[in-house]
Each structure stands twice: as structure tokens, then as C-alpha cells.
A and B are shown apart, each in its own frame.
Chain A
Amino acid sequence: MQPTPVDWGEAFRIVGGGLLVVFLIMSLLAVATTIMGKIFMAREAKKKAEAKAKEATA
């Protein structure tokens, strides 16, 4: 296959876009997972506190 001459402007746009997309998606996933974790941990803590309170009243 004979390659066509390289359009370096397009090549750097691809690189910039690619890095941006990868970091954006991974950052969003990190944020979403952190929020998810906080919600579930708070729920767990609440459940434990409720169970402790029940135990104390019993």
C-alpha cells in the first residue's frame, strides 16, 4: 500500500482529540465512581448506625 502524504495538522488534531477524550472519559468515570462510592458508603454507615441504635434500645 502506498501511503498518501501525511497531513500533520490532522495527525496532531487526532492526537489532541484522542488524549482529550481518553482523559475526559476516565475523569468522568472517576467522578461517577467516587460519587457512587460515597452514596453507598453513607448508606452502609447509616444502616450500621441504625442497627447499633436498635441494639442499644433492645
Chain B
Amino acid sequence: MNGWISNHDGVLKILDVQVGFGNLDLPHIIMILVGLGFITLAILKEWEPYELLPIGAGMILANLPLTGLTSQPEPGMQPGMAGVLGIILKYGLYTWTILPQFIFFGIGALTDFSPLIANPRAFLLGAAAQVGIYSSFLGALAVGLLWPDWGFSLKEACSIGIIGGADGPTTIYTTGLLAPDIMGITATAAYSYMAMVAIIQPPIINFLTSKSERSVYMKPMLRPVSRAERILFPIVAMLLIILIIPKSAPLVGFLLLGNLFRESGVVERLSHTAQNELINIITILLMLGIGASMPADRVMDPRTLLVLFLGLAAFCVGTGAGVIFGKIMSKFSKEPFNPMLGAAGVSAVPMSARIVHHMGQKNNKKNFLLMHAMGPNVAGVIGSAVAGGYFLGLFINF
């Protein structure tokens, strides 16, 4: 073509200006539609809107041709050539991986560990729900036996398994270091399944428990937790966990540091910033980055569907393992213990706890399980961070 329309090196130009339409192919169109789907779910269904809306937007921006938004900074690159999403990806997620840690800092500042401190056996439910992580790890490795071309490496299997913790920042941080190529899809899977807790968990809970087990009444109130306990808890937990699994420090350390800010009561402004401005800014950057990490050429792969399936399986097994452990605990408990609480051990805070509470009320109107369920729920956050730290400790030497 000559004149005002030209085509050089496969790039369509009108009046010598690059035009995107000419370079839009089917995979990019599909990814843009997927991004629009996320935005629709976020707006119409309010499914994890703070995560899915920016992820969808990032996905659309990353798949529009010729924008250069995802160009990552490289040595010798001309000034201004790196795209903003590429800079977020490189420094926030791939090279420095600082964004998930600051999200954890904000989550720590937002989390009240009192229900866990008041009922320490909830720690065990938080541990049991991590079984899903390891089952999907094995499942991901088994894929190679069935379809050798689509098999996953050990590092990729760790990243897929960690979806089962239902913990976005842990999934992003672990995958960013172990298998950055599948980070976008594992993070999206984690947040999507967290958004679908109300659909995924109730059938599993119903399947594994009887009506009488679901109706078990528990006193609504837990013992009051003193300020001194709430201050000591993050310090003791931080020291104990990090001394055993040092590689969990970036996640556990920041989570409990944020909580110490909150509970100390002497750095009100810092705690407020961590709970609001900081976590909001980091959420924008992190979620846009996650969306941008999914260009069509990386996602349009049969293995993406396998990652989504294995992540879902991890989440389901985690829920099931939590409930089964809850049933075991109810057999040994002196006081009435509702085994559904085990399902809250996955760290989808506070959605899982709410589901357990609603199901408890559905089966016994007098039941008020929310505070009981918040214990295993926040324990799950710690448990998945520990599991992520364990995986990192196997492969990463800082």
C-alpha cells in the first residue's frame, strides 16, 4: 500500500502514524473480551471489585496493540520508551517484588487477630486448610504424566498449589519469584475463586457435614482479649515463624508489622495510612500489574486452563480438608464445636467466615458463628504465608 495508508514491517500506518486496528488479532481480541468480562463482573456482580476491575483494565491495556505500555525498562533503552505497566511489572512484581509485601502490610493493619488469640485452636484449622495447596502441587506435577507436553515444573507446581491458600498477595509473591510466566493467571485465579467463595464452599460443606453437625450451637461471644495480648501476639508470632521459615519474612513479617502498628495504638497516623491510602495505592498498582502480566501470547495456552482447574481443585480440597479437620476437632472438643468452622481456614478474609456464619444461621437460627469463624480465617492468612515461605525456601536463596 502506498500513499496515506502504508504497511511497514507488519505495522499499519495512516499518514505515517501507527494504527492499532491493523495489528489486532484474535488472541488479543479474546483477552480484551476477558478483561471486559472481569470489569462487568466487578461492576454488575460486585465480585472482588477492588481487584477484578483493575485486573480487567490492565488486561485490556496490555492487549491493545502497539501501545508500548508493557515495555519493560532495559539497560540502554532510550528515555521514555518503557511503558508504565512495564515499569510496574518489572520493579513491582518481577525484580523487586515489593508490591505484594506492602499489600500484606496493609492487610496486617486492617486485621483484628482477637478472635484467633481468644481461640488458639483455630490455628489448627488454618493449618488444615493448607492441605489443598499440597494436593494441587502434586496434581500439577501429575499433569506431565498424562500430557507430557503440558507438564509443569516443580516451581510452577508450587505456584499453582499456592492458589489453594486463597490468598492473593501470597500467590503473587510466590509466583513472581518462582514462575513469573504464570503469575498473572495464578493471581487472577486466586482472586476469582475468592470472589466465588459463596458458590464454591457451601456445596463442599454440605457434602461433608450432616444437618445436625451444621446446627451445632456455639456461644456467640469469645473471651475479651487484652490490649497487651494484642500487642504481644504479632511480635511473638513474627519471631517464631521467621526463625523457623526465614523466607516467609517478606510476607509474614510485613503482615505482623502492619498488625503491630494497628495494635500498638501509638502510631495512629501510620496505621491509618497503611489501612487506607497505602493499601489503596498499592492495590491499584498491583492489580493493574497483574492484568498487564497477561498478554495474549502468554495466556492463550492450554496450560492456562489447567492452572485454573488445578487452582480450583486446590481451593476445594483446602475447604474440604478444613471441614474434615473441624469434624475431628469436634469429636475431641469438650464444648460444642461446629465443624463448618474448618471451611473458614482458607484465607479468603472475611468471605469464608461470612459463608460459615450464614450457613450456621440457616441451619440453626440461634447460631452466631461469625467471631468463631474469623479465628480460622485469619489463621489461614498466616498459614498460607507460611506455606508460600516454605516453597520459596526450597528454591530461592536471597
Contact = CB atoms under 8 A, between A and B. Distances in A.
Interface stretch (B9-17, B239-247, B267-275, B359-367): B239-247
Contact of A29 (B154, B223, B382, B391): B382
B137 interface: yes
Interface string B90-120: 0000000000000000000000000011101
B131 A30 contact: no
Contacts of B394: 14
Given A1-B181, A6-B141, A44-B226, A27 B117 contact: no
Contact of B154 (A10, A26, A44): A10
Interface residues of B, number: 47
* Size bracket, chain A contacts: 20 to 34
A30 B121 contact: yes
A25 B241 contact: yes
Given A28-B240, A37-B117, A23 B127 contact: yes
A21 B386 CA distance: 8
B138 A18 contact: no
A56 to B, nearest CB: 25
Contact of B124 (A5, A10, A19, A27): A27
A58 interface: no
A46 to B, nearest CB: 13
Contacts of B236: 32-33, 36
B117 A24 contact: no
Contacts of A5: 144
A34 B379 CA distance: 14
B23 interface: no
A5 B174 CA distance: 22
A22 B138 contact: no
Nearest to B303: A1
A36 B397 CA distance: 34
Contact of A1 (B126, B153, B391): B153
The main secondary structure of chain A at its interface with chain B is helix
A30 B128 CA distance: 14
Given A11-B138, A18-B390, A22-B386, A32 B124 contact: no
Contacts of B158: 14
A26 B390 contact: no
Among A1, A17, A41, residue most surrounded by chain B Cβ atoms (within 10 Å): A1
A1 B226 CA distance: 52
A36 B233 contact: yes
A32 to B, nearest CB: 6
A32 B156 CA distance: 34
B266 interface: no
Contacts of B121: 30
B123 A18 contact: no
Contacts of B133: 18
Contacts of A36: 117, 229, 232-233, 236
Contact of B386 (A11, A25, A34): A25
A57 interface: no
B151 interface: yes
Interface of A: 1, 3-6, 8, 10-12, 14-15, 17-19, 21-34, 36-37, 40-41, 44
Given A14-B158, A18-B387, A21-B244, 17 more contacts: A1-B156, A11-B137, A14-B137, A14-B154, A15-B137, A18-B133, A23-B127, A25-B241, A25-B245, A26-B123, A26-B386, A28-B240, A29-B120, A29-B382, A32-B237, A36-B232, A36-B233
19 contacts: A1-B153, A1-B156, A1-B181, A3-B151, A6-B145, A12-B138, A18-B137, A19-B131, A21-B386, A25-B127, A26-B127, A26-B379, A29-B240, A31-B120, A32-B236, A33-B120, A33-B236, A37-B118, A40-B229
| Minimum-distance CB pairs A-B, first 9 | A26-B127, A30-B123, A33-B120, A30-B120, A26-B123, A3-B153, A3-B151, A15-B134, A34-B120
